[in-house]
Chain A
Amino acid sequence: MLPRQGSTIAGPMDDLYMFIFWLSVVFFIIIAGQVVWFGMKYRRRGPGEKTPHITHHLNLELAWSIIPLLLCIVLFFWGFDGYMKATVVPGDAMEIQVRAKRWQWEFEYPDGIRALNDLYIPVNKKIRMVMISDDVLHSFWVPEFRVKMDVLPNRYTDVWFESTIPGTYNLTCTEYCGKGHSTMRGSIKVLTPVEYEDFVKEGPPELKNMPLRELGELVYKSRGCESCHSLDGSRRDGPSWKGIFGKTEKFTDGTSAVVDENYIRESLMNPHSKIVATYEAVMPVYKGLLRDREVLGVIEYIKSLK
């Protein structure tokens, strides 16, 4: 019924869930069983059949009012307790700033490094997400951690978790936010302490040895380039990358330049300094969002596109 337990509170929450589940099964069997059983056992045998005139039974009615009430009170306290444990942030948590915007998740580590959609964190460490939205309501949900909190535009909300098993966990937006709501996904990648140290120094582990051109293609597909730059020459919000390396571009201020390594780097870090003629200044700034190796990868990838 429930996904893998990836955090410290998943276990206790699942226990409560299963308690309610079995409670429900028992009550359902009692009620449904009787309904079906009575329907069969007391089937009308003929016209004029008489039935007993039972109007009420005080003790029975009190019992089935009070016992469910007591069970509900148990559920309330158990649920409240679990809720407090899940939402009150412990003091020693590492803080990650989260900015939700249509339709992606931007993360910022305490040291200022930024990440897009994929967040690498160490295992067995308390992490606190401090969240705000750039536009409409979103909601941060990691099912396997059992944590969820809406992300608002006018104030910060937070959520915390401590993951117990290294692995990749789905992050999914769960407050309707428009066209891209169902693709506003990300992942929380939980690393062992050693892997995490490595990551802090050199970036995501699986990308460390990836050839630059392949890395560039990955960045193209996963960091938003694809939505504005085509590979086949067709025009989108930005110029197509097909055959662009070595080309001379004209800009809106009348100047022009050759598309080389420096130009590509500048376009990523400071995109509005040179706008290609007939295009608008809509490209997001990638400064802080790409590691050095990723920039090199993008350059190699663009070079390869004839």
Chain B
Amino acid sequence: MADVKTTGAHVHGEAAHHASYLEENKGIMNWLVTYDHKRIGLMYLWSVLLMFLVGGLFALLVRLELLTPGEDLMNAETYNRVFTLHGAIMVFLFIIPAVPASLGNFVLPLMLGAKDVAFPKLNLASYYIYVVGAIMAILSIVLGGVDTGWTFYTPYSTSTAGAVTLMTLSVFVLGFSSIFTGLNFIATIHTLRAPGMSWYNLPLFVWGTYATSVIQVMATPVLGITTVLLVMERVFQVGIFDARLGGDPVLFQHFFWFYSHPAVYIMILPGMAIISELIPTFSKKTIFGYRGIAFSSIAIALVSFLVWAHHMFTSGQSPLTNAIFSFLTFLVAIPSGIKVFNWTATMYRGSISLKTPMLYAMSFLLLFTIGGLTGLFLGTLATDIHLHDTYFVVAHFHYVMMGGTVIAFIGGLFYWWPKMVGRMYSEKGGALSAILVFIGFNATFLPQFIMGSRGMPRRYFTYLDQFQPLHQFSTVGSEILGAGILVAILTLVASLRKKPDAIANPWGGSTLEWEAQSPPVTHNFVGTPVLEHAPYDYRHAKVEG
């Protein structure tokens, strides 16, 4: 174990023998009113996983419908609602909160050597705000559904029937949950670091979480005002977006993407933050280019605010606007590239253990690279004209969001699972899930690059016969992907039936959370941890695994 002094620490390498946060204060009421970041993290975890499964189910339905050009399971109107809900649930109820609120909440204070986040009550409030938002969103599905696409473009969204207002308001509510989480984490990182932990001694997961939190705090309010304006337009016809009243529908796109572009970095930065932990641990080698990765995270957060209109190259905006945003878009690509090179270089001459978290991390490197490279086609003006609003875009963002963030998230779950629940899972199950997910994911989305390039538009219920073979291939892929996700979740859940068997540091990690017991005591550490060396320093470590 890494040499971190903890006053009166218990012996390393043994199973827990202090009452853990799971064993104390049992009973559902104690969980529902808890201020403990670990419990809140777990409550978020099961909520976002539930939303992930619901959103995933909608995705499978979409792919099943697309097996043939004709009407298979549903008509066009139902299809439009199903793809909208897939997007809205996945974006607002799953991917934006998932890593920060579940893994971030659990791990961040432990990594900092803190007892909790800065504002534990606010943390609990964030969770309940999320729940309220989720209930409103689910209600909107039941009370008429939404068929606008997750992007809610006007004038369609201000004039179509359905529960658009309710779902828009649910997004408004969910935004507060996101803002408060980000606010909490920034204050935590600034004020609750353990003695000796300077900024350059922070684990990169913390840097990534910090960058994410900055975006959450700065960008989400704009989503808030956008949703308010959309509701005002829809209900009271205030005139800002409605062309017939003198408003501008493209103005909505500017408002919407001003948040939603930085939002995609809220999605990917935490995933990258996880990878920055997995690669050094499972290569048992110090991270290559620590400052490069740390500064890239901040650079990505800042530059992400400057590129929103690259979602609007064919919206009728001026060539000058297009040129500026295309140029800035290329700039934001560079820091992501730097990170990928640094992670790869970390593996060079490492001592690599191909356990499940590492399998997911390596998948991330391959899939995120494809996602990032295909972004070049879209940032380039001439090619974007052809590819915008096609399946190429759908494939691009699934590669970065799912091949990137979701796969990193699952890898992180497998990584921190022993710490969270004190149990080791079946390595066979984990490895099987990684393989199925990798194969299924590529089978689903790789053909979509080709389909988009060949003329297949987005959000299409029916299509020309020439696209059918690739659609069918993609659908089969989605079934394999779904199976892989299921195996992953079952593997983790199955471990809960065992008696606690995890040691404090099963992977030989070098960051502070591995000093705590698995699972930790309620106040995280027995005594105050003091940092004695930088993270990822394996020179003096007696690490096992």
Contacts and interface: CB of A to CB of B under 8 A. Distances in A.
A20 B376 contact: yes
A43 B354 contact: yes
Contact of B76 (A49, A141, A182): A182
A27 B369 contact: yes
Interface in A265-292: none
Contacts of A84: 319
10 contacts: A32-B365, A34-B347, A54-B345, A57-B288, A68-B337, A72-B330, A75-B380, A80-B326, A181-B460, A182-B457
Given A75-B376, A153-B243, A42 B350 contact: yes
A291 B529 CA distance: 86
B290 A55 contact: yes
A17 B155 contact: no
A47 B353 CA distance: 10
B351 A24 contact: no
Interface in A155-184: 155, 157, 170, 172-183
Interface in B303-330: 314-316, 319, 322-323, 326-327, 330
Contact of A178 (B160, B285, B323, B377): B160
A147 to B, nearest CB: 7
Interface of B: 76-77, 80, 147-149, 153, 155-156, 159-160, 243-244, 247-250, 283-292, 314-316, 319, 322-323, 326-327, 330-331, 333-334, 337-338, 340-342, 344-345, 347-354, 358, 362, 365-366, 369-370, 373-374, 376-377, 379-386, 388-390, 450, 453-455, 457-464, 537-539, 544-545
Contacts of B347: 34-35, 38-39, 42
A83 B322 contact: yes
A158 B344 CA distance: 46
A174 B362 CA distance: 35
A145 to B, nearest CB: 9
A44 interface: yes
Contacts of B289: 55-57, 61
A117 interface: no
Contacts of A38: 344, 347-348, 350, 352
Given A39-B352, A82-B382, A86-B382, 18 more contacts: A2-B453, A3-B453, A17-B453, A20-B377, A31-B341, A38-B344, A51-B349, A54-B345, A56-B289, A56-B292, A64-B341, A72-B376, A83-B382, A148-B386, A172-B455, A174-B390, A177-B156, A182-B463
B314 A150 contact: yes
**9 closest A-B pairs (Cβ-Cβ)?**
A82-B382, A154-B243, A79-B380, A143-B455, A83-B381, A72-B330, A182-B460, A24-B373, A51-B285
A231 interface: no
A47 B545 contact: yes
B323 A179 contact: no
B533 to A, nearest CB: 12
A150 B319 contact: no
Contacts of B290: 55-56
B218 to A, nearest CB: 25
Contact of A51 (B153, B284, B358): B284
Contacts of B243: 152-154
A215 B53 CA distance: 52
Contact of A173 (B244, B283, B457): B457
Contacts of B248: 154
A12 B385 CA distance: 13
A146 interface: yes
Contacts of B292: 56, 61
Identify the interface centre among A52, A55, A147, A176: most chain B CB within 10 Å of its CB.
A176
A146 B453 CA distance: 10
A209 interface: no
Given A34-B344, A35-B344, A82-B382, A51 B538 contact: yes
Contact of A69 (B77, B334, B358, B538): B334
Given A42-B352, A149-B316, A153-B155, A53 B286 contact: yes
A28 B403 CA distance: 15
Contacts of B454: 1-3, 143
Interface string A177-216: 1111111000000000000000000000000000000000
Contact of B155 (A3, A64, A80, A135): A135
A35 B337 CA distance: 14
A66 to B, nearest CB: 9
A73 B323 CA distance: 12
A153 B345 CA distance: 52
Contacts of B249: 137, 152-154
Identify the interface centre among B250, B330, B366, B457: most chain A CB within 10 Å of its CB.
B457
A157 B327 CA distance: 23
Contact of B156 (A27, A87, A174, A176): A176
A101 B240 CA distance: 22
A65 interface: yes
Identify the interface centre among A35, A53, A177: most chain B CB within 10 Å of its CB.
A35
Given A32-B365, A176-B153, A182-B462, A20 B380 contact: yes
